[in-house]
């Protein structure tokens, strides 16, 4: 009975063994096949496991490092970008680079004759010019003008496919002794293109006032980017304004003008001045001075009086324009200025001074502006009423 029982337990235990311990026996059979003692096998397995772990850790470390480096690189790149953005805001370095670019140099000579009051500008040669064409060359030619009369421009012949042209051409310009301090010789070197716009290679600017013109000057100078054509000098005009509210009289006295632009081939102009009034943006009244022949520094001292009520004076534009009288051709406008409540800067200041000091003539110099510019402002600006100064209201 007892025996029966024990067999029953052994049977059930072997049955249990069979179901759960199959893999162990499988490993056991493999282990048994290895001709090594068990402890050696376990030791080897431990070493192998350790090695595998070590390899995995190494791989992980490498990956992490690589990622970090990539991030660092990205950071550096971002830094570069940031730097570029800020520097471009502070100083456009691309433009600066372009400006610093070597454009070549030019040899010139300048000879002034105090007797004839004229300057001879010779464009001798250029060297190491910047290549503007795809073939690595340029087709250079030079233009010469003086800032006292930028309309008179002379130019050399075009020299094909060279970066070191020998021009050897001279040009004569009229420069009065009195004009020397504010006159510069401007030489531009261009690349000629048959089918497209000519490219400017560079410029040389030579202020006559900074030279000792008692000798012939011959020198080399590096070309600069240039391209900035200075605001053309049109001249200055002086006039006085006087407003008398009691009698509603506005008096404009055209006193004199100086350094007017030369509009005629003889190097002078025949200036006269038009004094115009516009009311509510419409032409209203106009008068003009006599013509002063062959001068760029005319003296007029001519007075013009207009009837303008206190109400009208707030809506009036005073337009002063200087013209060159021509016998054969149409008269040419040299420049103009406008004053009134819509004016700004000097024009507004002079007008306000006049209103603030009724019955007193107020004189002031004004720089002439290009006519088109003034006309544009006059047609665009809306009416703006200047408050009437107390002094004017009291009188």
Catalog residues that contact Ca ion under the rule CB under 5 A.
133, 139, 191, 193, 263-264, 270, 324, 326, 332
Please list, in sequence order, all residues whose beta carbon lies within 8 angstroms of the beta carbon of residue 383, skipping any fewer than 6 positions away.
Answer: 280, 281, 315, 341, 342
Q: State the chain's maximal CA–CA distance in angstroms.
A: 156
Total residue length of the chain: 395
Cα 336 from Cα 322, distance rounded (Å): 6
- CB of residue 326 to Ca ion, shortest distance in Å: 4
d(CA 223, CA 128): 10
Nearer to Ca ion (CB atom), residue 95 or residue 326: 326
242 vs 292, beta carbon nearer Ca ion: 292
* Minimum distance, C-beta of residue 168 to Ca ion, in the bound complex (Å): 21
Q: Which residues contact 366 (CB under 8 A, 6 or more apart)?
A: 236, 237, 238, 239, 320, 337, 346, 347, 350
Q: How far is the CB of 132 from Ca ion (least distance, A)?
A: 6
Instruction: Report the C-alpha gap between 319 and 340 in whole angstroms.
Output: 9
Q: Which is nearer to Ca ion, 66 or 160 (CB)?
A: 160
Shorter beta-carbon distance to Ca ion: residue 179 or 270: 270
Q: Are 128 and 223 in contact (CB under 8 A)?
A: no
Judged by beta carbon, residue 264 or residue 375, the one nearer Ca ion is: 264
- Looking up tokens 């408050």, which residue turns up? 387
CA–CA distance, 339 with 344 (Å, rounded to integer) = 8
CA–centroid distance for 139 within its chain: 27
| Closer CB to Ca ion, 288 or 359, in the complex | 288
């Amino acid at each position: 009975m007892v025996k029966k029982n024990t067999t029953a337990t052994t049977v059930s235990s072997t049955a249990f063994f069979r179901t759960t311990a199959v893999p162990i026996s499988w490993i056991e059979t493999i282990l048994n096949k290895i001709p090594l003692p068990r402890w050696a096998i376990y030791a080897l397995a431990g070493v192998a496991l350790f090695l595998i772990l070590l390899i995995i850790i190494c791989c992980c470390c490498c990956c992490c490092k690589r990622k970090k480096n990539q991030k660092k690189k990205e950071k550096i790149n971002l830094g570069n970008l940031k730097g570029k953005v800020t520097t471009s805001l502070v100083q456009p370095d691309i433009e600066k680079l372009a400006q610093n670019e070597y454009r070549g140099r030019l040899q010139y000579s300048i000879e002034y004759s105090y007797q004839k009051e004229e300057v001879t500008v010779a464009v001798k040669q250029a060297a190491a010019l910047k290549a503007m064409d795809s073939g690595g060359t340029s087709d250079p030619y030079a233009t010469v003008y003086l800032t006292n009369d930028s309309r008179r421009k002379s130019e050399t012949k075009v020299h094909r496919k060279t970066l070191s042209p020998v021009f050897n051409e001279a040009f004569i310009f009229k420069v009065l002794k009195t004009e020397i301090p504010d006159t510069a010789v401007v030489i531009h070197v261009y690349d000629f293109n048959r089918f497209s716009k000519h490219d400017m290679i560079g410029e040389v600017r030579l202020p006559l006032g900074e030279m000792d013109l008692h000798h012939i000057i011959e020198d080399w100078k590096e070309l600069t980017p240039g391209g900035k054509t200075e605001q053309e000098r049109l001249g200055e005009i002086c006039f006085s304004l006087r407003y008398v509210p009691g009698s509603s009289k506005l008096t404009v006295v055209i006193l004199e003008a100086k350094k007017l632009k030369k509009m005629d081939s003889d190097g002078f102009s025949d200036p006269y001045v038009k004094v115009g009034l516009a009311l509510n943006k419409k032409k209203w009244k106009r008068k003009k001075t006599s013509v002063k022949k062959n001068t760029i520094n005319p003296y007029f001292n001519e007075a013009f009086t207009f009837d303008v009520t206190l109400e009208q004076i707030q809506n009036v534009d005073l337009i002063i324009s200087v013209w060159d009288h021509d016998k054969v051709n149409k008269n040419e406008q040299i420049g103009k200025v406008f004053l009134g409540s819509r004016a700004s800067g000097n024009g507004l200041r002079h007008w306000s001074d006049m209103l603030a000091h009724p019955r007193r003539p107020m004189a002031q110099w004004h720089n002439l502006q290009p006519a088109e510019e003034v006309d544009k402002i006059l047609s665009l600006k809306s009416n703006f009423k200047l408050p009437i100064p107390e002094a004017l209201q009291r009188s």
